Amino acid sequence: MSETTSKSIREDLTQRDELSLYTRIANNPRPFFKWAVPMLVLIAVEFPTYAGVAFGMLDAVVIGVTGLLDAAIGLVSSGLSQTIRDAQYAVVGVLRDAGGFVDGLPTLFSREVIPNQGYQTGPNGPWEGTFLGLEPAYAWALRATLIFAYALFTAYWVFRGWLVYRDHYREADWTPTDDIVDNLSNHQWGKFGIFVLILFLTMAVFGSALGPTTVEQNIQSPYSERINYFNEDTGEVDQVFPGDANFNSKSKGSAEFNVGPMSYDDYGRFHPFGTLTNGRDLFTFMMGGARITMIVSALAIGGAALIAAVFSMFSAYYSGRVDLTILTTADGVVSIPRLLLLILVSAVFANHWIGNVLNGGFLLAIIFAFTTWPFLWRAVRGPALQVAQEEWILAAKSYGQQPRTIMRKHMFPYIVGYLLVYASMSTGGIIIGLAALSFLGNGLGISPPTPAWGRAISMGQDYVSGPSWHISLLPGLMIVLLVTGLNALGDGIRDAIDPEAGGSAEGEEAAAGGGG
């Protein structure tokens, strides 16, 4: 039996042009299609949403990068920076057109398919304009539940795709990654972290469909279109601007001026989290804030992790002077007070258009990345130094492997786990930092009227002990939940890559051990 298998391995390896995944799938397509067809359906029903998110991010990246180039090159040659700006307008124009186009496409879980905004035709009359004539609260709850269920199932199905690959198409019957995944799937606390992360990513991606109303209609331009409502005084259906409706739905801390969680205002609008002090819908506000928070913190932590990974490998591989230079630089960066730097940069770029990319979030992401990388670098440098001492690095040098390849193939796989652990834990700090800036306001943080979590907390701080407690508390709890979830995820990954580290205190020591 081993005779035949070994023969076929040799044939596989030497006679086929490429040992590609494609050939392996072609040989045994059933499991792949059983996974891929549902996956395609899952993507297709919400494709415009994903495309919109992708275009939006591309848009921000293009503006951000060209903006930085423009600012840098503008110092040298103004002609060249004009060219860059022209290119930027062209690209962004195309992206916005494409974004506008996909925005018009229908999606399955949209407010058009399951509408929740309607009006009553009489004092106890049926609801007009809502899904199947349901009450707005139920229509909204149905849509939100469906979206969360859809998102969780899609996430599971993506993971399932990896399982299909592992069981049917991977050449190795076992890899070290399998152990990590198995450990993580037995780690309840870590799974909680993943669950929370998926929850908040869902809010970021499907935010506009999740809210009972839209940021556009309720917050950004509330005086552009009227809405219908049942006027109890006149007993007729009237029209009103959402802005005027907001004005009469404020939560101001007294019994008569309060729209609490899970209640309707006088205009038949349902507010799952109640309203803000200016009468806007808190849940819609939070969903809008989720997207900007997730994008900015992802950019910041991604940038910081990238710098930390590259620098820690340089430190460990070259050591000596290179390490000392990075060490000094990192210490220098750490010595700058973060808040002061944020205030300074916000002031300097207050009227520059780069300060408006992502409503000011891009600049914040850069500053957070710049101030966070030294911590990640310190944490990962230890493990990197450890790997650099392994003999396989020496072996790779002995057959003349390039330093770049040595770092990528022989060092990076060993530090990426630690990087994930520390990155997920540091993200909590960045999210709190972002919220703190918005809380302070005065030109700091995300610029209004774009929703930001910290601003909601700041608005409600005078009413914490009254009927309008929800304004500060609910956003606060959401931040706590997200940060706890990220820490849980970090814990889970740490235990998964190093199961021997065991309990929490010990584990932390083991993971941080090399950091010094």
Binding site for other proteins (CB under 8 A): 2, 5-7, 9-10, 13-19, 171-176, 390-392, 394-402, 405, 409-410, 413-414
Nearest residue (CB) to other proteins, 13 versus 43: 13
Sign of the Cα torsion 347, 353, 354, 355 reads positive
Q: Is there a contact between 321 and 252 (Cβ–Cβ < 8 Å)?
A: no
Nearest residue (CB) to other proteins, 364 versus 396: 396
Cα–Cα distance, 287 to 202 (Å, whole number): 10
Cα–Cα distance, 329 to 223 (Å, whole number): 51
Q: Is there a contact between 168 and 32 (Cβ–Cβ < 8 Å)?
A: yes
Min dist CB 18 to other proteins, Å, is 8
Min dist CB 160 to other proteins, Å, is 23
Query: Please, which residues have CB within 8 angstroms of residue 183's CB and are 6 or more apart in sequence?
Result: 495, 496, 497, 499
SS3 state of residue 109: coil
Nearest residue (CB) to other proteins, 223 versus 399: 399
Nearest residue (CB) to other proteins, 2 versus 465: 2
Min dist CB 394 to other proteins, Å, is 6
Cα–Cα distance, 5 to 173 (Å, whole number): 14
Check whether the bond before 374 is cis (ω within 30° of 0). Answer: no
* Segment (H or E) for 264: strand 263-264
Min dist CB 399 to other proteins, Å, is 4
* Bridge partners for 227 per DSSP: 240
Nearest residue (CB) to other proteins, 205 versus 387: 387
Min dist CB 492 to other proteins, Å, is 20
Min dist CB 413 to other proteins, Å, is 4
Cα–Cα distance, 150 to 42 (Å, whole number): 8
Cα–Cα distance, 173 to 171 (Å, whole number): 6
Nearest residue (CB) to other proteins, 79 versus 320: 320
* Bridge partners for 264 per DSSP: 270
- DSSP state letter for 294: H
Min dist CB 167 to other proteins, Å, is 15
Cα–Cα distance, 172 to 310 (Å, whole number): 29
230: phi then psi, degrees, rounded to nearest 5 = -90, 115
Min dist CB 415 to other proteins, Å, is 11
Min dist CB 389 to other proteins, Å, is 9
Nearest residue (CB) to other proteins, 396 versus 483: 396
Cα–Cα distance, 271 to 264 (Å, whole number): 6
Query: Please, which residues have CB within 8 angstroms of residue 503's CB and are 6 or more apart in sequence?
Result: none
Cα–Cα distance, 39 to 155 (Å, whole number): 10
Min dist CB 19 to other proteins, Å, is 8
Nearest residue (CB) to other proteins, 1 versus 340: 1
Nearest residue (CB) to other proteins, 12 versus 244: 12
Q: How many residues does the chain have?
A: 516
Nearest residue (CB) to other proteins, 358 versus 393: 393
Cα–Cα distance, 282 to 260 (Å, whole number): 10
Nearest residue (CB) to other proteins, 292 versus 396: 396
User: Which is nearest to 411 in space by CA: 377, 394, 379, 388?
Assistant: 388
SS3 state of residue 160: helix
CA distances from 42 to 33, 38, 98 (A): 14, 6, 22
Min dist CB 395 to other proteins, Å, is 6
